[in-house]
Structure 1
Amino acid sequence: MTASVDSVQSRTEVLTRLTPVIEDVIRPRAGTVDRDGAFPREGVDALAAAGLLGLASATEVGGGAQGVRVVADVIERLAAECGSTAMVVLMHYAATAVVEAHGPREVRTAIAAGRHLTTLAFSEFGSRSHFWSPTGSATTSGDDAVRLDARKSWVTSADEADSYVWSSLPLTPGAGPMTLWLVPADSAGLRVAGDFDGLGLRGNGSRPMTADGVVLPADAMLGTDGAGLDIALGAVLPWFLVLNAAFCLGLADSAVAEAGRHLTGTTLTHTGAALRDAPVARRDFAQLTIRTHALRAFLGDTLTALETGRDDATLRVLQVKALAGETVADVTDGAMRLCGGSAFRKELGLERRFRDSRAARVMAPTTDALHDFVGRVATGLPLLDEGNR
């Protein structure tokens, strides 16, 4: 599908606003964010000031009304510079998809204006990466009030976001497998329950959180009771999986670019030859380039499938994160080997990209789960067993 003139202009305008934020704020701080495990507050604030946190919000509340293709471009470019910042913004956009569809106007307006950072809070200690099987409870608490109790295992931007799109068991038993809530960050009984000192994405603030008797008004429910899984599959999952693929593409593409600079700019003193003059090095670099270009093509086809309502859109969405997770792991590993001992130095940024890329395989839905989903859809089975719905 050929992009319209308006969409090209919108994309160009968005990327024009993004470039100085990357060059002036995000890129210079990426190493420090990683080294210190520091939440990238300066970068997030700069993105907000540039009007980029409201890209996915509707024009009626002052947002950019951009579709997933333009937003994926933003995530790709952020990931190329700072994986932690990219993941924070990715989760914000995924949660915004729910808030846009079911949230209160005042929160939608605040998101559009860049005054409100939101995120998803799905994974739990009891169900781990099986986000479709929450164990946290929601119970009636007096007139028009609800009590939430849960132990969330990983929440990006924990204690940094202004709200959490929160999953629980349904309020009414049997209503459905899951209900979603919009939980304000200042809710009494909501707290961060641990630190994060991870291998990669060290600044994305992904920490466990608990709700211990968090009381909310009943209208904090997003959608209807028990409909949370359908909302997650219909509104969240396409954005989440596609943006994760864009995240992986940004990491892979930047790793290949860094490897290319190393091969062309490094000369062996005893022979006078550049590293690129060795046929084996050129072959290995070509393989990394081909893998990355193949991922870009597949992501582009997935976006087209979504935009045109193609019959295979659901299958493509499920496939793209699985493909991206494996591709970025292999490409960053290959770039490390190709650059040898130099890749272990912090200043190249390759080892940071290598570490950041490991998250894609294990972030729910994991690569293994996605392979099962793809197999089910491709053979005519429902995405999930009826017991999980």
Structure 2
Amino acid sequence: MTYHKELTRIIEEIVAPAASGTDSEGAFPSDAVDALGAAGVLGLTVPAPYGGGGLGPGAATDVVRNLATACSSTAMVVTMHYAATAALTATGREDVLREIGAGRHLTTLAFSESGSRSHFWQPVSTATADGEEVVLDARKSWVTSARHADSYVWSSRPLAADGPMSLWTVPAGKDGLSLPGRFDGLGLRGNESLPVHADGVRVARTDLLGEDGAGLDIALTAVLPWFLLLSASCGVGLAQAVTAATAEHLTGTRLEHLDQSLAQQLPSRAKLARMRIQTDRTGALVADAVAAVDGGRADAQLLVLEAKAAADETAAEVADLAMSACGGAAFRKELPIERRFRDSRAARVMAPTTDALHDFVGRALCGLPLLDAPA
């Protein structure tokens, strides 16, 4: 793949060396994002006519998985960028896509809200027509890359149409936008996921993505599959890194009184084996889900839903096993396992949460709609 050499260089020279500081300082990975933009990685999924790479979910998940082996925060920034780019592509937002394709633009999703929490499909924020402009008011609760993104793919209630949602592209820095507080979370500490408030923010009617009221359809058909696959790939990459770090610790650490390495102890080896099996099993599921999407298979929707749910659980379980297999050393920052353990906790509460995905999978298996009709 033409992007892979540059991606590897950026990970080795920029992302991995900065990962510990990104976590400890809660610092946004600006150098990595700039390098990924300049190398064409941020524009990888933009259609070729707009200057991008024209590649699909397979390439995007490969990028995110590799980034996640070094730094989950950087991987999550790129995940949200690619997911938002999918909305812009589906609605033909040429001006922004050209900027992304040129490596000059970072975008992100602004879906989650204080009023509806993880139920992103039922926004309570409003859009009100005022001549040729639209006034947006909202309390967005978690927006990745909030201070560094150049634009937000923004959800609101429709202007006038039926339906629960409309989508907009909102340039960062608009009058009326504010970003209260700072992100100080347990894990993913460098992804800068902040509240974003809109108080009378004015955008043009042409900033509407798709038709008024059609936002949920766009979110479910264009955005959600990308987000779920990319988020799952973050989990797989994290699990791969934790498994590799555990193997390195077990083989490189000795019990001097027994003249044996930790790898020669059966309980530790068994835990490592479980870690690798879980990681490979989930990686295979994600790869099959990507293939199903690319091939337009009938089981694509089900597999995409399964992929994130499985990866959420695998990342947490593998990190738990690593903490146990490596003992006290894993609880200290001298090993990268402690950081990955904290990062692994985020995915299960990131909408759609693991619980919600289990419900979606069950609904799909029973032939029920994924979402109840709003009251």
TM-score interval w.r.t. the shorter chain?
over 0.9
After the TM superposition, which segments of 4 or more aligned residues of structure 1 sit over 4 Å from their partners? Answer: none
Q: Is the 8 A contact 2:69 2:241 kept in 1?
A: yes
Determine the structure 2 residue equivalent to 1:179.
166
Deviations 1:76-132 (A, max 9, x none): 010110111110011000000011122432211000111000000000000000000
TM-score normalised by L of structure 2: 0.99
CA distance in 2 between partners of 1:216 and 1:374 (Å)? 37
Q: Is the 8 A contact 1:54 1:112 kept in 2?
A: yes
Where 1:164 maps in the other structure, the secondary structure is strand
Asked if residue 169 in structure 1 is aligned to residue 157 in structure 2, the reply is yes
- Which of 159, 163, 179 in structure 1 is aligned with 2:147? 159
1:348 shift after superposition: 1.4
1:186 shift after superposition: 1.8
Same amino acid, percent of matched pairs: 57
Letter of the structure 2 residue corresponding to residue 101 of structure 1: A
Letter of the structure 1 residue corresponding to residue 60 of structure 2: V
CA distance in 1 between partners of 2:7 and 2:105 (Å)? 19
Letter of the structure 1 residue corresponding to residue 37 of structure 2: A
Letter of the structure 2 residue corresponding to residue 114 of structure 1: G
Determine the structure 2 residue equivalent to 1:250.
237
CA distance in 2 between partners of 1:208 and 1:218 (Å)? 24
CA distance in 2 between partners of 1:139 and 1:55 (Å)? 35
CA distance in 1 between partners of 2:201 and 2:182 (Å)? 21
CA distance in 1 between partners of 2:148 and 2:291 (Å)? 34
Deviations 1:114-168 (A, max 9, x none): 1000000000000000000000000011x21100000001000111100000000
CA distance in 2 between partners of 1:188 and 1:299 (Å)? 41
Q: How does 1:1-389 map to 2 (within 5 A)?
A: 11=1, 13-141=2-130, 143-172=131-160, 174-387=161-374
Q: Is the 8 A contact 2:51 2:101 kept in 1?
A: yes
Where 1:386 maps in the other structure, the secondary structure is coil
Determine the structure 2 residue equivalent to 1:5.
none
CA distance in 2 between partners of 1:332 and 1:252 (Å)? 7
CA distance in 1 between partners of 2:330 and 2:267 (Å)? 18
CA distance in 2 between partners of 1:27 and 1:280 (Å)? 30
Q: Is the 8 A contact 1:165 1:183 kept in 2?
A: yes
Deviations 1:271-292 (A, max 9, x none): 1111111122111111111101
Deviations 1:294-334 (A, max 9, x none): 00111111111111111111011111100100111000111
5+ residue gaps, structure 1? 1-10
Where 1:348 maps in the other structure, the secondary structure is coil
Where 1:318 maps in the other structure, the secondary structure is helix
Report the count of equivalent residues: 375
Q: Is the 8 A contact 1:122 1:166 kept in 2?
A: yes
CA distance in 1 between partners of 2:234 and 2:323 (Å)? 19
CA distance in 1 between partners of 2:227 and 2:236 (Å)? 14
Q: Is the 8 A contact 1:145 1:218 kept in 2?
A: yes
Letter of the structure 2 residue corresponding to residue 168 of structure 1: S
Determine the structure 2 residue equivalent to 1:7.
none
CA distance in 1 between partners of 2:122 and 2:373 (Å)? 12
Q: Is the 8 A contact 1:134 1:168 kept in 2?
A: yes
Letter of the structure 2 residue corresponding to residue 254 of structure 1: A
Q: Is the 8 A contact 2:90 2:218 kept in 1?
A: no
Where 2:116 maps in the other structure, the secondary structure is coil
Where 1:387 maps in the other structure, the secondary structure is coil
Letter of the structure 2 residue corresponding to residue 218 of structure 1: R
TM-score normalised by L of structure 1: 0.95
Deviates more, 1:96-105 or 1:203-212: 96-105
Determine the structure 2 residue equivalent to 1:6.
none
Letter of the structure 2 residue corresponding to residue 151 of structure 1: R
CA distance in 2 between partners of 1:107 and 1:279 (Å)? 55
Q: Is the 8 A contact 1:136 1:150 kept in 2?
A: yes
Q: Is the 8 A contact 1:103 1:182 kept in 2?
A: no
1:56 shift after superposition: 0.5
